[in-house]
Amino acid sequence: MVPLSQYQAEGDSMAEDKVIIKEGIISQSLSGFYSVRSEGQTYVTKPRGNFRHQQLKPLVGDHVTFEWEEGLDPKADQALGRLIEVLPRRNQFVRPSVVNVDDALVVMSLVEPDFSYSLVDQFLASVTSHGIEPHLILTKYDLLLAQEGADQAQSRVAQIQAVYEAAGYTVTVMDPASDALANLSQLLHQGLYVVMGQSGVGKSTLLNQLLPQVDIETGEISHYLGRGRHTTREVTLYPMNQALIADTPGFSALDFEQIEKDQVSQLFPEIQELSQDCRFRSCLHLEEPGCAVKQALEAGSLAASRYQSYCQLVQKIDQRKPQYHLKKRR
């Protein structure tokens, strides 16, 4: 991919003769320039001036149309096209900033940083809130083996798998001694897949294994902070077979601004299913009588960690400050 930083701003002027219209998908955004993948090639473009007036910001994953000078080599020095339209979006993530996502790989390390049920549940809930089914990827199994030995490592992983497979999620353990990498590669066929997780969990390492032709920068864990350095600084799409894989910056603060507390159960598949048997339709599964979710928790058929994450998210939304939108003066 041609680095966008080498291009200089050239305004919105472009020769009107010999201009053709192309369609593509934005694969990278940097400093006002946009790389667009179209017909197996990457074109660097700049949006038309009216994008600013419309307060329209193109995002990675956007399907767009753009103007390109006929016969101009996309790899030529200073070759620049012009974005003319952003097509309607199917969905939009705020963190990471990417649109038109088909599937999501939530990556969490078993150690360094340590596995967190609460953080995994937040990521899974965030993905589900966009109408997308997430896949859970567990990394650094080899480090867990070295630190705890085979028996304890296998026991810990089996416990994690049991919790999330019972909730209906697909769980892949990246064990170098297994076929996990090959199986994951087969999973990624058509569509746009976003790889997300906190810093240092091994997202870039995983992508380098899936895409050996792409040298993605990796970083060590900051022992001072207990988390990884942000080696990926912006969302970037990489082609893989018929799919596109989005590498995203690491983060742990998730946005649930559009979710109300009575909708939280919909983000936890097993709780949503259990709630059908609650006495009250408006049951929040906290202190209400006849709650099927609480009964399942007491019976041990609902994981305590999942219920705790549910309660934490309800509380977070309940304590959210109201947002007031001022009307613009005419």
**Is 64 within 8 Å of 36 (Cβ atoms)?**
yes
pLDDT of amino acid 50 = 79
The continuous run of DSSP H or E covering 86 comes out as strand 81-86
pLDDT of amino acid 232 = 47
Q: Give the residue from 211, 121, 216 showing the smallest Cα distance to 164.
A: 121
pLDDT of amino acid 9 = 43
- Its CATH class, for the domain covering 261-318, is mainly alpha
Q: Give the residue from 50, 51, 47 showing the smallest Cα distance to 66.
A: 47
Q: How far, in Å, CA of 274 to CA of 321, rounded?
A: 30
| Degrees, nearest 5: CA angle 318-320-322 | 115
For tokens 């810990």, what's the residue?
A: 156
Q: What is the pLDDT along the chain (330 residues), one digit of tens a residue?
A: 444 444 444 444 454 558 999 999 999 998 889 999 999 899 999 998 878 777 789 999 999 999 999 999 998 888 899 999 999 999 998 878 899 999 999 999 999 999 999 999 999 999 999 999 899 999 999 999 999 999 999 999 999 999 999 999 999 999 988 999 998 988 888 899 999 998 899 998 899 899 887 765 543 333 323 434 344 457 889 998 889 999 888 766 677 878 999 999 999 999 999 999 999 999 999 999 999 999 999 999 999 999 999 999 999 998 876 665 555 455
pLDDT of amino acid 82 = 94
In the numeric block, which tokens belong to residue 106? Answer: 């939530």
In the numeric block, which tokens belong to residue 118? Answer: 């609460």
pLDDT of amino acid 78 = 85
DSSP 262: G
pLDDT of amino acid 138 = 97
pLDDT of amino acid 327 = 54
Q: How far, in Å, CA of 223 to CA of 205, rounded?
A: 19
CA-to-CA separations, 60 to 30, 177, 231, in angstroms, rounded: 10, 35, 18
Torsion angle of alpha carbons 27, 87, 189, 123, nearest 10°? Answer: 80
The continuous run of DSSP H or E covering 298 comes out as helix 292-299
In the numeric block, which tokens belong to residue 269? Answer: 């598949």
In the numeric block, which tokens belong to residue 81? Answer: 């096209």
The continuous run of DSSP H or E covering 270 comes out as helix 269-274
Backbone angles phi, psi at 242, to 5 degrees: -100, 5
DSSP 234: S
Task: Name the burial class of residue 102, with classes exposed (0-12), middle (13-18) and buried (19+) by CB atoms within 10 angstroms of its CB.
Answer: middle
In the numeric block, which tokens belong to residue 125? Answer: 């809930």
User: Do the first three CATH levels of 4-88 and 261-318 match, i.e. the same topology?
Assistant: no
The hierarchical CATH code for the domain 98-247 is: 3.40.50.300
Name the 3-class secondary structure at 308: helix
- Its CATH class, for the domain covering 4-88, is mainly beta
Sign of the C-alpha dihedral computed for residues 112, 116, 120 and 125 taken in this order: negative
Domain boundaries, the chain: 4-88, 98-247, 261-318
Q: What is the pTM assigned to this prediction?
A: 0.83
In the numeric block, which tokens belong to residue 254? Answer: 């998730």
| Omega cis (within 30) before 88 | no
In the numeric block, which tokens belong to residue 287? Answer: 């202190």
Task: Name the burial class of residue 203, with classes exposed (0-12), middle (13-18) and buried (19+) by CB atoms within 10 angstroms of its CB.
Answer: buried
